[in-house]
Amino acid sequence: MSAKATTPPEKMMFQLTLRRRGISEQAVLRAMEEVPREAFVQERDRADAYRDSALGIACGQTISQPFVVAYMTEQLKLTKAHRVLEIGTGSGYQAAVLSRLAAHVVTIERFRTLADSARRLLEARGYHNVEVMLGDGFAVPEQLGRFDRIIVTAAMTELPEELVQRLEPAGILIAPVGPHHGVQTLVRVVRTATGFDRKELVDVRFVPALPGIAQQL
């Protein structure tokens, strides 16, 4: 089902739900409207693409519910000048949304199957400012440098200091922090002139972030 085939009521309810739940940044709402979520879910789930719920994808992973995608994106306070790092590509949906708001997105995925499929899909859909890398989100290559924004889309039991240090001055990081098989809290870290400001936001549930590149899949 293409974006054009999606019935107007589904699209309208999709946007209305985001607004009702507190998403108010017009650029974020516009990005959520422009990126066809049905293209990033499994074929069997396309009829449910615009429901506000997480859906399963390959490799035992998930595509986050639209509200969480929009909320995390809004908290990043993106501009067209920003360079963004995403840990956990998944289907590529979050990266596609980020690409509408930032200059460049580097997204790292530990599952080769997901990295390859997301890369093909993003390229085919014209998201040319997204770079998909197969790699370990706990060991971001040094040559990638620092980033204006960092978003983690899998649960970390704690934030690695090495990742926080990859923020540029005034940079923002957002990540779900907490137990792997339970409720996590979205944490926002802002790099200031004197250190780092950390704030807890809302409770969420994400699949675990694991170190290393997956040996299979």
Among residues of the chain, what percentage have pLDDT more than 70?
95
Tell me the helix, strand and coil percentages in the chain, rounded to 5. Answer: 35, 25, 40
Task: Render pLDDT for 131-169 as a digit per residue (tens, 0 to 9).
Answer: 999 999 999 999 999 999 999 999 999 999 999 999 999
205, with CB counted inside 10 A (0-12, 13-18, 19+), is middle
Note the pLDDT of residue 9. 79
Q: How far apart are CA 211 and CA 104, in angstroms?
A: 24
Average pLDDT, the chain: 93
Task: Render pLDDT for 8-37 as a digit per residue (tens, 0 to 9).
Answer: 678 789 999 999 999 999 999 999 999 999
Length of the chain: 217
Weakest mean pLDDT among 11-15, 56-60, 62-66, 204-208 = 11-15
Nearest 10 degrees: Cα torsion 142, 146, 150, 156? 40
Task: Render pLDDT for 201-214 as a digit per residue (tens, 0 to 9).
Answer: 999 999 999 989 98
> Quick check: 1 pLDDT over 90?
no
Task: Render pLDDT for 112-123 as a digit per residue (tens, 0 to 9).
Answer: 999 999 999 999
117 included as an active-site residue: no
Q: Give domain limits for the chain.
A: 54-204
What CATH class has 54-204? alpha beta
Task: Render pLDDT for 168-188 as a digit per residue (tens, 0 to 9).
Answer: 999 999 999 999 989 999 999
Q: Which of 24, 53, 64, 99 is catalytic?
A: 64
> Quick check: 6 pLDDT over 60?
no
Q: 103 to each of 15, 19, 29, how far by Cα in Å?
A: 24, 25, 18
Note the pLDDT of residue 166. 97
pTM: 0.93
Note the pLDDT of residue 12. 85
When pLDDT is averaged across residues 86-95 and rounded to a whole number, the result is 98
Q: How far apart are CA 206 and CA 177, in angstroms?
A: 9
